[in-house]
Structure 1
Amino acid sequence: MFSYPTPDEVLAGLGDKVVGGLANAVVAVAADLVEYRRIAPHFVSRHSERGLANWIHDQMWSHVLRELDSIPNVSFVDKEPTRDVYVGLDYRLRVKRHSPTGAIRSYPTQEALSFVTQQPDLLSEDGAGIVNLCVGYEWDAGSRTIGGPVMSLRDGSFDEVIWVIDVSAGSGGEGTVRPMFPTGAPKPPTIGGTPNQETNKEEGSKES
């Protein structure tokens, strides 16, 4: 019998400083987009969906660096087009835009597919192995606006979502957790006691 780590287990492993920092980065990048629209609306209107997503990704990455850089067990690997955040030896995080159903988009390179496929050791009884997580924000494609901070675990493909949660920063900078099960989404089957939520594909950027 195998099981995936639960949201509570992952958040405890990441720690309040990391989770709060990620949430703060989303708040900051949402403010950046509002300011960008205010001072240069003509530039924003010229962006393609992919172009705007890439602009947001760069801003988000800069905020993640600022928020997490002083945390001792956090390290960064920035080798374009891949940017990873490592938390200790247990977690690898990648910034991604999420649809309201938790879907992400990326070019299906071997490296990208490898990231969204969890290591076999992770599913063993010992639960060893690094956990690959997508972190970022929920995107409203209709209004082209940034929603709340989210984190997801997937396995096998961009759309094979095990769970996705809303992680918001509380008064102390600590993250709070709200499981996300969008209205009208199919009910997830259970694997080892953890939901596996199917999602719909979304048009978007290779980076965010």
Structure 2
Amino acid sequence: VKASSINYDVTEIQPGDEVPNHFSYTSRDEDYVKDQVPCWLTYTNGTSHEIIQNNLHRAPMFTGVVKGVGPRYCPSIEDKIVRFADKERHQLFLEPEGRNTEEVYVQGLSTSLPEDVQRDLVHSIKGLENAEMMRTGYAIEYDMVLPHQLRATLETKKISGLFTAGQTNGTSGYEEAAGQGIIAGSHAALKIQDLPALILKRSAGDLGVL
């Protein structure tokens, strides 16, 4: 949604940490970004839930158009309304996409509902009554390369020279995806140079187990 069309006065500010928490002991406090851009918190309500309930027959995830099972950790808003019908509201974070854009992402409102329903839904939320939608939400369905279609080098058996890693292999975890990237990338480089593959055993470390 467009930042200038949001009524922030009726939302709750969510500032960043005042005291920096660094990832490295070598980082200095003076390198910490002081001028942070805050997020804002708002909630769905009874009207929002009614709009969703009345239009579930138009949601691809409920009509059978999308057959895949969504991830447990980030369900769509229509999935939340159905699965957690006892909840009177669901929190939504208004997250600025950057310092040089008006785009604000409504975290917690992912949806597959049609555009007209999305607009009504957004306008039912406190602070977003007059919000301008810059982009609509949409549902995606992933496909993947099955494990038996891959060599230990993560090269596909059917297409020589094609290496896959991460989401394509059905892996959504960050560390696992990065580890696969190391394996696939290394073997792609080795193959180009006609060098032997480096197959890690389970006893050699986490990448071997993976």
What's the TM-score, normalizing by structure 1?
0.24
Q: Higher relative contact order by CA 8 Å / sep ≥ 6: 1 or 2?
A: 1
Structure 2 length-normalised TM? 0.24
Larger Rg: 2
Higher strand share: 1
